[in-house]
Every structure is written in C-alpha cells, then in structure tokens.
C-alpha cells in the first residue's frame, strides 16, 4: 500500500502530471463543444473549469500542477507568430481594404482599452486587475503577454478573453441586425477586433467575406493592442 502511495505521489509531482491533466481537460472541452455546438461550451473554459475542480477536490497544490502546466505556456510564443500566417493568407484582401481594416481595428482597439480603463477607475478597481483586463479583446497568446508586460494576472486575463469571445459570438449577429450593418467588411472587422477567434467562428457562418475580414482583424488588432499597451 505504501509503495502504491509513493508511486501516486511521484506521478503527481512529475511535470508530466500538469501537462497530461491540461491536455485531458482540454480534450474533454473539445468533445463537449462538438456535442453541444454552443459558444458557451468553449473548450478553453471547460478545460480551465475541470482543472480547477480537480485540484480543489483532490487538494493538490497549484505549485505541483504548475511544474508541468507552465511548460505548455512556452508554446504561446510560437502560437502568437502563427497569426502572421493568417494575415499572409489573406494578404490580397488586406491590400484591397487596407485603410478600412486598419482604421477599424485601431478604433476598436482604442475603444476596448479606453473603456476598460475608464470603467475600472470609475468603479475603483485596483491597478493590477485593471492591467489584467486591458487586453481582453485580443486572442489569448497576445492577451497573456500584454497582461504580463503590464504587471497583470495572465491567468485571469485568459478567463476575461474567453468570456469576451463567448459574448461576442452570441451577441454579434444580434448587434449587426440592430445597428443595420449591411457592409460585410465592416461586420467582419468589428467581430474580429472585439471578439477574436470565437467571434470569427460566428463571422464565418454569416458569410465568406465576414469570416475572412474577421480573421485578418484578429492579427491586426493584436498588433495594435500591443502598440497601445506600450503607452500605458
């Protein structure tokens, strides 16, 4: 019995524990998303929730999990550079609509950052949480790095990004109808700038142009948000 307990302890304290737990939880999230096909059942949100529940239930320290979980964070850098490829694939569209895309993304990024800062200060939110919320509208790898550079909490930023994406995916079709946005380019840029990849999945359903412009806007808005954060 003691030998079995020692084996379990050694397995939990191994870096592979955090890696395998993360992969398993995310896999369950992907499976649930395919079954329910709802933006609310987001793989990242489900995965995070499962890891939190498992660690809380078993009493395993967060530090033990992070020994392997942090290893996955090393791939955020390469994942961020992949966004350049998505822009390259749509380079013809970007050249054709360069000014509308750049101005739309700049306006959206500025409004996102300014509104977060304004609301946080209005409600007396501490500076660290304010810095955490600033990059909520850009894709996760960029958001985490911006949050880290502003001395925020990247783990909380991930949750904010997921919630923003879910709300964007749910509300963007409604807002497009309410404000009578008939231009597919404007609709795509607005969705991609405000709700990153999750919004883009909904933009693809609205039309090919909306999906392509939303995909471009994810990368452009990410770059602009990084530049804006340098002045904060």
pLDDT along the chain (232 residues), means of 10: 68 83 91 85 85 90 82 73 74 86 94 95 93 92 91 90 86 88 91 87 83 88 92 86
Domain ranges of the chain: 2-73, 87-229
Give the pTM: 0.78
Burial of 147 (0-12, 13-18, 19+ CB in 10 A): buried
Name the nearest CA neighbour of 23 among 77, 68, 64: 68
- The answer to whether 86 and 218 have CB atoms below 8 angstroms apart is yes
């Amino acid at each position: 019995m003691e030998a079995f307990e020692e084996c379990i302890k050694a397995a939990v304290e191994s870096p592979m524990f955090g890696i395998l737990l993360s992969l398993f939880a995310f896999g369950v999230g992907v499976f649930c998303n395919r079954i329910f096909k709802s933006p609310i059942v987001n793989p990242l949100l489900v995965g995070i929730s499962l890891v939190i529940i498992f660690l809380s239930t078993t009493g395993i320290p967060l530090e033990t999990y992070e020994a392997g979980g942090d290893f996955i964070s090393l791939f955020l850098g390469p994942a961020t550079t992949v966004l350049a490829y998505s822009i390259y694939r749509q380079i013809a569209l970007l050249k054709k609509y360069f000014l509308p895309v750049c101005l739309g993304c700049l306006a959206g990024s500025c409004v996102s950052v300014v509104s977060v800062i304004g609301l946080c200060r209005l409600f007396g939110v501490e500076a660290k949480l304010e810095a955490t919320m600033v990059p909520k509208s850009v894709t996760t790898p960029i958001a985490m790095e911006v949050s880290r550079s502003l001395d925020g909490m990247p783990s909380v930023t991930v949750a904010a990004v997921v919630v923003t994406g879910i709300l964007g995916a749910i509300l963007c079709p409604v807002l497009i109808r309410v404000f009578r946005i008939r231009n597919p380019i404007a609709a795509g840029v607005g969705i991609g700038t405000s709700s990153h990849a999750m919004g883009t999945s909904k933009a693809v359903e609205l039309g090919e142009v909306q999906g392509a412009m939303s995909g471009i806007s994810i990368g452009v808005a990410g770059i602009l948000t990084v530049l804006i954060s340098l002045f904060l």
